[in-house]
Amino acid sequence: MERKKTRAISVGGVKIGGDNPITVQSMLKTDPQNLQETLNQLRDVKRAGCELIRIALPQEETCKIIPFLKREVDIPIIGDVHFNHRIALKAIEAGIDCVRINPGTINNIKKLKEVASLARQRQIPVRIGINIGSLEKRILKKYPKPDANAMVESALSCVKLFEDEGHEAIKVSLKASDTLQTIEAYRKFSALSDCPLHVGITEAGPVFSGAIKSSVGIGILLHEGIGDTIRVSLTGNPVYEVTAAYHILRTLGLRKRGINIISCPTCGRCKVNLREVVEDFEKEITHIDTHINVAIMGCEVNGPGEARDADLGIAFGPQSAVLFSKGAVKRKGIPREMAKDVLVEEIHNFSH
């Protein structure tokens, strides 16, 4: 897997592109007028490992939340702006770390230049977020049926506009809900530009199917070396977006944050409710960022082998379970109802 070389930019101190690790971002889903609810959700995603957070700024007055959130939580904030470029200007004045603009919804070169100019003066990076559902009118004239080429042309011309204004701290996204179309757009753009790429599949869907769609799309691109920061878009709690993003990065060996659970699918040999044990365990460990492989296995067929190979493992037998730590048996005769707590306790010993 050879990573495509992109220019490095800094979003509120978090480096994106170049040789920097691929970062995980998500988006808040609360009403930005509701400061407390938004702050609570921001704390939840940060605890889950989110490294950059985007917030919708639908009206100018919503920019007042920026200094409030920045005071409360140490995480770079990206303001998502559509239609009214003055919101982007106001967000920059209010101390935002990055603005995301969509040239298709601003749809005015002079206004885009105003954003580029202020962003350059204040050294605020900008994400040029192309979305197939909202391309510029002039692009739609040329491509009545928008496709990957239309997205790439729109992105390249907006990048040029920003660079002509002297602003090179740009990242780009080219999103469609069709996974293959998204992959094609990113591949084409990546071959033509060194801008760092924010990769994601837009409107991917509910948590289960959306995570699969995103894993395929984002996974293929990352495996080709394309992508510097990722967002898994799901109709659901943004904590799931962060969790899914780390699963993708861990599966590809690109990041090592958090607990990797190895659990068997169970079968007729399993004498415990393994699903319950795994789900209860998973709920308690989302905030742990130390990378540990933990096996939770249903019976003696593959249980002892997997549990021994993992950093920590629990293998159930017909009556009770055996705990392994670093390849050796640490405890025997653990009753099923204690298994989750024993593992969680062991995780804490392991990570301290």
C-alpha span between 134 and 102 (Å, rounded) = 8
The interaxial angle of helices 35-47 and 65-72, nearest 10 deg, is 40
C-alpha span between 46 and 287 (Å, rounded) = 9
Sole window of 54-62, 81-89, 149-157, 264-272 interacting with ligand SF4 (rule: CB under 6 A): 264-272
Q: Is 302 in the site for ligand SF4 (CB under 6 A)?
A: yes
Q: Which residues inside 141-200 make contact with ligand SF4, applying CB under 6 A?
A: none
State which residue, 9 or 272, has the beta carbon closest to ligand SF4: 272
The residue behind tokens 């704390």 is 43
Q: Which residues inside 278-297 make contact with ligand SF4, applying CB under 6 A?
A: 297
State which residue, 186 or 324, has the beta carbon closest to ligand SF4: 324
CB of 306 to ligand SF4, least distance (A): 8
C-alpha span between 224 and 185 (Å, rounded) = 13
Of the residues 69, 94, 150, 270, which one makes contact with ligand SF4 according to CB under 6 A: 270
**Cβ–Cβ under 8 Å, residues 229 and 16:** yes
Q: Is 79 in the site for ligand SF4 (CB under 6 A)?
A: no
CB of 300 to ligand SF4, least distance (A): 7
State which residue, 201 or 295, has the beta carbon closest to ligand SF4: 295
Q: If you count them, how many residues does the chain have?
A: 352
Q: Which two tokens stand for residue 226?
A: 């394309």
Neighbour order of strands in the sheet with 170-175? 170-175, 126-131, 98-101, 77-81, 52-56, 23-27, 229-231, 198-199
CB of 275 to ligand SF4, least distance (A): 11
Sole window of 4-12, 30-38, 181-189, 258-266 interacting with ligand SF4 (rule: CB under 6 A): 258-266
Of the residues 66, 106, 299, 334, which one makes contact with ligand SF4 according to CB under 6 A: 299
C-alpha span between 244 and 211 (Å, rounded) = 6
Q: Is 266 in the site for ligand SF4 (CB under 6 A)?
A: yes
The residue behind tokens 């699903």 is 275
Of the residues 36, 265, 283, 328, which one makes contact with ligand SF4 according to CB under 6 A: 265
Residues in contact with ligand SF4, shown as a per-residue x/- string from 197 to 226 under the rule CB under 6 A: ------------------------------
Beta bridge partners of 316: 321
Of the residues 17, 79, 129, 303, which one makes contact with ligand SF4 according to CB under 6 A: 303
Of the residues 13, 110, 144, 267, which one makes contact with ligand SF4 according to CB under 6 A: 267
For residue 43, which of 231, 35, 210, 284 has the smallest C-alpha distance?
Answer: 35
| Distances, alpha carbon 218 to alpha carbons 103, 247, 261, in Å | 23, 11, 21
State which residue, 166 or 335, has the beta carbon closest to ligand SF4: 335
Sole window of 54-62, 165-173, 218-226, 300-308 interacting with ligand SF4 (rule: CB under 6 A): 300-308
E-state strands within 167-277: 170-175, 198-199, 229-231, 259-263
C-alpha span between 306 and 310 (Å, rounded) = 6
Query: Which residue's beta carbon is nearest to the bound ligand SF4?
Result: 298
Residues near ligand SF4 (CB under 6 A): 264-267, 269-270, 297-299, 301-303
